[in-house]
Amino acid sequence: VQLQASGGGLVQAGGSLRLSCAASGHSFYRYAMGWFRQAPGKEREVVAAIGRSGDTYYADSVKGRFTISRDNAKKTAYLEMNSLKPEDAAVYSCAAKHVIVSASLPTRVDDYGYWGQGTQVTVSS
């Protein structure tokens, strides 16, 4: 599967952005999808993940502000980001992992084998 992330940009603190991750290939529904971010000088970290059944995971730092979703018909995953803070600024990347139905939701960077290019999110204070 190939992934293409988009939707980043410059936004003021308190603003919103929606990131999209479009996948090519077959059987998108068989993949768990994750959003990750990496700020300068920091390690890549998980932001949110969504499984085949729509189960979700959020990092504590984004709970209540970000929402991950997926549209299997469009083979696209989304990350709705609200109430953005300067500390949310980073390069955001999406990733995919083929999972079986009963698998637990992968939430670690190393769990994912397919990665899209990043999209820059800048938050001005």
Q: pLDDT in tens for each of the 125 residues of the chain?
A: 999 999 999 999 999 999 999 999 889 999 999 999 999 999 999 999 999 999 999 999 999 999 999 999 999 999 999 999 999 999 999 999 999 987 899 999 999 999 999 999 999 99
Please state, as a whole number, how many other Cβ atoms lie within 10 Å of the Cβ of residue 99: 17
CB 119 within 8 A of CB 6: yes
